[in-house]
Amino acid sequence: MTAHDPSAAGPSAAGPSAADIPPYVGARPFRVGEQGYFHGRATEIRDVADRWQRHRVTLLHGPAGVGKTSLLHAGVVPQLRASGLHTAPVGHPVHRPACPIGALPDQNPYVFALLSSWYPDESPSRVWGLSLLDYLRGRARTDRFGLLPRQLFAIDQAELLLRAAGPWLRHRELLFDELGTMLERFPAHLLIVVRDDRLQEIRPLVDRLAARLRDGTADPDGYALAPFDRAAAIEAVDEPLKRSGHAVPAGSAARLVDELRTVREPWAQRPRTTSAVEPALLQAACARLWSEPPADAAPTAGAGPGTRQGTGTPQGASAGETADAERLSDDVDRGLAEFCSQALATVAADHRRPVRELLVWFRAAFTPEQGGAGVPEDSGAAQSVPAAVLWALEDRHVLRARLDSGERRYHLHPRLIQAVHRVGDRPAPPQRPAPPARLRFAELALAEGDFDLASYHVSAAVRGCGNEDLRLLAEAECLRGDIACVRGAPEGPEHYRESARLYEALGDTPAVGRLLVTLGRLKLEADATEAVRDLRAAAGRLPNDAAVQTGLGLALWADGQIRASLAVLDAVLSRHGDTTEALRTRGEILADLGHAEPSLRDLRRIDHNARLSTRAAWALAQAMCVDASGGHWDGPEAHPDGEATGAQSPNPADAAHPHGEAAGAAGPPARPPDPADADNGPVLLRLARVERLDGDEHAAAALAARAMAAEHPPLPPQLRDQAERLMDGRDHPPLAAHVAEPRQQRA
């Protein structure tokens, strides 16, 4: 369905009239701009908006298909913005514009996804490689009292974080660390949206955020979103029709709602009635009956175009005023059967499984006689179907997972049990997603660790667009490179190179620059000299690109060209100001060189907790300062030469705490990384030097030996002598005493 903005639609030559826009969105969530068609949730909108404003951390939870995403997009966020509050667009944890994972090994894809969705108009180059704190510092603007305004952020579909696999598990942990730092340093209010069946898994992560708040304003219970009651469901059917200008036959919405609440069981003499109405099923039934009315339905005066009468509920009525109960029941069953049929066919095609196999499993696992017992997740029945298939059916609101006495079970709505058994042996054809949607599915599969499925979706996207859409092809090749990098396959550079060629044809210089940096950095571990050649060539083509120049500085350092490396990084910071990645790279190099206080002056201007390498550099610089001062040191701001440097004025985010009191610019103390987490030569050597400064020569020697053997990345040549001396228990002179402090570092 083509996306319209119903709130702006009107009878004009500039766009479709309200009568031309379908009043029901179907099984998909409501989008921004569709609040005029979103009804039945007035109380919930008010309650969630109130909790979000009062609490620093709030959980919004509910079962799949209950309308959590719709509530935010078309209810809560528009209301808060109308009241003048700073409310970011709803964030999504898996959303990646063209940004190669291979460019920055420590880059957190979840952080990039959130920043890109919270600030959708921002260039990827401005977000690339930044932590949450780094980015918010750059955007911070104080009010006339010098305080930062309250800002509201939401993370939707947080259950996707809990499906993480492989290296994405570490990224998830680091994301919650960054969210905690954001809450400590900014007046941010965070709403996390998750499905009920994942509530027990998300709570420990949310509790970690709550523990870092000084004011104790975390919401301990969260807000549970329930299905519609009867009155709300009737409103959700009636009001969109009125907005569309269609007549609503009396009682038609109530008849449809009551039919959806009715469950007929073969052994029961009378049907039973459920107390609630599932929003996803309500929308699916309404959209299906609206778009495909029965052939014998007669039009009602003023009911709208063609045979689209009101809700479609009375479409079996000859005069449009009454509806035969049996005909209505058959229409609803047929619509839900088509909904299930298409969902099963699409999921089966996406996951390359025979649709009949999936249909047979459903009919065996969910029978009318089974009732509402559900299928345990660890049962043989559930494990005979891949978890990714079950997740996809949850996402399409066919299945629902619940926790029953601590056991996770899959359930099928009683009305859908009838629908699945009504589907014939040849279900409807699959609904083929458009190529952009295919890339979206590939990103989800990559985050879930299903590399084969991710590759399948990328290939399908490329086939779907042919050679017509160069930008989509460039994004697809970049994503192929990401898949190769995450799974450790060697063809990543080939795909990144092809992506760069396509972006160059489009004239997208920043994207080309990011990919050239990626190609250069991928060579650092194997051949630093060749990486320098590639990045010098890139810098010649993009002389003013800070990312390319910073990558060149890092490559020069890895190749042992210390002075040249610092000169390049000095030039980047002189020309581009407080470029986060350049500050990070220079600060880490200065720590390795033994220039502790200049290193801290660089690192204190960024989020030094965001990456393992930066945390290790900060810990080393701090330890060196303490050692030089005889065991006591008050930080760089207390040193005679410790005032901040750089062309930009102090950032307002460093001048005011979220609640107005003064806050130290250095931020929260860095936590030294756990050596067990690292196969990074420089990180391990920095930790070894910290142990030596603390007097533990045995631990220092062990870490130095690990640093010598590390491969991702290996130690650069100028650091290997340090590692050897630590392994032998020998003292060593400063690494490069002849290398002067960089010009920008002098007080």
The type of residue at 258 is: D
The answer, yes or no, to whether residue 501 has pLDDT greater than 50, is yes
**Which tops the pLDDT comparison, 363 or 595?**
595
pLDDT digits (tens, 9 = 90+) for 343-353: 888 898 888 88
The answer to which of 137-141, 358-362, 506-510, 611-615 has the lowest mean pLDDT is 137-141
- Give me the mean pLDDT over the 482-502 stretch: 90
- Give me the mean pLDDT over the 144-158 stretch: 87
pLDDT of res. 532: 93
The answer, yes or no, to whether residue 483 has pLDDT greater than 80, is yes
pLDDT digits (tens, 9 = 90+) for 435-455: 998 998 898 888 888 889 899
Closest CA to 246 of 299, 193, 194: 299
pLDDT digits (tens, 9 = 90+) for 667-677: 445 556 666 65
pLDDT of res. 649: 35
Closest CA to 212 of 247, 243, 246, 177: 177
The answer, yes or no, to whether residue 633 has pLDDT greater than 90, is no
The answer, yes or no, to whether residue 659 has pLDDT greater than 70, is no
The answer, yes or no, to whether residue 299 has pLDDT greater than 70, is no
Strand partners, 401: 410
- For residues 167-190, one letter each, b for 16 or more C-beta atoms within 10 angstroms of the residue's C-beta and e for the rest, the string is ebeebbebbbbbbbbbbbbbbbbb
The answer, yes or no, to whether residue 505 has pLDDT greater than 70, is yes
- Give me the mean pLDDT over the 626-651 stretch: 47
The answer to which of 192-201, 261-270, 314-323, 627-636 has the lowest mean pLDDT is 314-323
- Give me the mean pLDDT over the 387-410 stretch: 86
**pLDDT grade, residue 640 (50/70/90)?**
very low
Query: How far is it, in rounded angstroms, from Cα 605 to Cα 594?
Result: 19
- Give me the mean pLDDT over the 357-368 stretch: 82
The answer to which of 141-150, 313-322, 358-367, 627-636 has the lowest mean pLDDT is 313-322
Query: How far is it, in rounded angstroms, from Cα 327 to Cα 409?
Result: 34
pLDDT of res. 303: 38
pLDDT digits (tens, 9 = 90+) for 317-331: 443 444 467 788 888
The answer, yes or no, to whether residue 653 has pLDDT greater than 60, is no
Contact indicator for 80, 87 with CB cutoff of 8 Å: yes
**pLDDT grade, residue 382 (50/70/90)?**
confident
pLDDT of res. 19: 54
Query: How far is it, in rounded angstroms, from Cα 621 to Cα 379?
Result: 54
CB-CB neighbours of 11 under 10 Å: 11
The answer to which of 253-257, 627-631, 720-724 has the lowest mean pLDDT is 627-631
pLDDT of res. 738: 42
The answer to which of 129-143, 249-263, 477-491, 553-567 has the lowest mean pLDDT is 129-143
The answer, yes or no, to whether residue 431 has pLDDT greater than 90, is no
Domains of the chain: 41-224 (3.40.50), 335-422 (1.10.10)
**Contacts (Cβ under 8 Å, ≥6 apart) of 326:** none
pLDDT of res. 18: 52
pLDDT of res. 17: 53
The answer, yes or no, to whether residue 396 has pLDDT greater than 80, is yes
pLDDT of res. 292: 67
- Give me the mean pLDDT over the 17-30 stretch: 77
Burial of 504 (0-12, 13-18, 19+ CB in 10 A): middle
CA torsion 727→559→555→529, rounded to 10°?
-130
pLDDT of res. 298: 39
Q: What is the mean pLDDT of the chain?
A: 80
Query: How far is it, in rounded angstroms, from Cα 404 to Cα 373?
Result: 9
DSSP-derived 3-state class of residue 693: helix
**pLDDT grade, residue 730 (50/70/90)?**
confident
Helical H runs in 523-561? 528-541, 546-558
SS3 content of the chain, % helix, strand, coil (to 5): 55, 5, 40
pLDDT of res. 20: 61
Contact indicator for 506, 473 with CB cutoff of 8 Å: no
How far, rounded to the nearest angstrom, does the alpha carbon of residue 725 sit from its chain's CA centroid?
A: 44
Q: Which two tokens stand for residue 40?
A: 């039945």
- Give me the mean pLDDT over the 385-390 stretch: 87
**pLDDT grade, residue 340 (50/70/90)?**
confident
**pLDDT grade, residue 609 (50/70/90)?**
confident
